[in-house]
Amino acid sequence: MHFTEQIKKLKVTDNHLINAVVKPIFFKLSNSLERQKLEELIDNQPQICILDEIQSQLQELIKLRYPKIKFSSDELERKISAYLNNQPLEEYGVWVYYPWKNTLVHLLDEAEFVEVRTNRNQYKITPEEEITLSTKKIGIIGLSVGKAIAMTIALERICGELVLADFDVIELSNLNRIQTGVHHFNVKKTVVVAREIAEIDPYLKVTCYHDGLTDENITDFFTKDGKLDICIEVCDGLTTKIEARQKAKQLGIPVVMTTSDRGMNDIERFDKENNRAIFHGLINDINIEKINDLHTNKEKAPIVEAIIGKETMSDELKISMVEISKTITTWPQLGSCVVMGGAIVCNVCRRLLLNKSMSSGRFFIDLEKIIY
């Protein structure tokens, strides 16, 4: 068959629709029904990749629980054998299948998995704080900057659930700031982020709104199965930015925002200040009812300037804003700034969730001012 015909035959045209699975499947071999289903899966997927490193995870678990003891190899194996108490090793823990990778991984059960995975957090995050954080729920609107935030939050595990909203797909021009691969072109950003989190921690709950924040789902995003503890807003849509803050203010949920310019971070404590104006009052003089009538980035630029603050934005961003719709299509973002924003927002959210003293305001971590 000619190469062109082969491509046409095999080409995936609706990548984001076909590859919409974001949750792994769990199997406990001690459950006869789940064992049967797993055996059927393996029989039906001859190319499946099976990774069984449960022994090394148990070794870590034992060593971390006895930090004063330096086990020899034989002593460690005897300790593990006693810990298993005659349970077959293959039945210990859980087998997790990742459909998008056709990969089956043998893992510790949730409590032990989290214990080992977060061990190096202690005591920057205390065990008591870890318990508190595990009950928290964070929503993220926008998954360009938001991907860096979501992944950092997942790494530190500062919540029990992440709620993600974005309507967009991965494109080539995203790859200057979004850490992902070319194989994800035309895949929903929500799908990419949820899968990557599941590959780090399949027990961390992730809920996705693949259509972004809409009039139909905004209430669910903020309140379904329990109200958000924090809303992180890092999307491009001006209407969405405003409506998200209005909803958060109504529900008494704090909003955190970061930009990739001068390390700017906004904190709006709607949980403490019911009468606080959104965006610190910076758009009070703008008729927000007319924002939906603005269609081009050039038309929206003055409002973006008002939100970011024309007096405080970097010289590079000021130059870029003038060039929108002339030599560039939208405002620039650098990968280093996006990654830094993910770290800053995670730090801010952790302290908010632990009721550390923190006020509303606009804060800058401008590396060019700090390091020179």
Closest CA to 65 of 30, 107, 111, 28: 111
- Is the full-model pTM beyond 0.85? yes
Task: Dig out the tokens for 210 from the structure.
Answer: 């693949």
pLDDT of residue 334: 95
Q: Is the pLDDT of residue 46 over 80?
A: yes
Task: Dig out the tokens for 117 from the structure.
Answer: 């995975």
pLDDT one-digit tens code per residue, 102-131: 999 999 999 999 999 999 999 999 999 999
**Which domains occur in the chain, in start order?**
22-117 (no CATH), 127-370 (3.40.50.720)
pLDDT one-digit tens code per residue, 216-249: 999 999 999 999 999 999 998 899 999 999 999 9
Report how far residue 123's alpha carbon sits from residue 200's, in angstroms, rounded to the nearest whole number.
21
Write 92-95 long-range contacts (CB < 8 A, 24+).
92/54, 92/58, 93/54, 93/57, 94/26, 94/27, 94/28, 95/26, 95/27, 95/28, 95/29, 95/38
Amino acid in the structure at residue 85: N
pLDDT of residue 19: 62
Average pLDDT over the chain reads 93
pLDDT of residue 16: 46
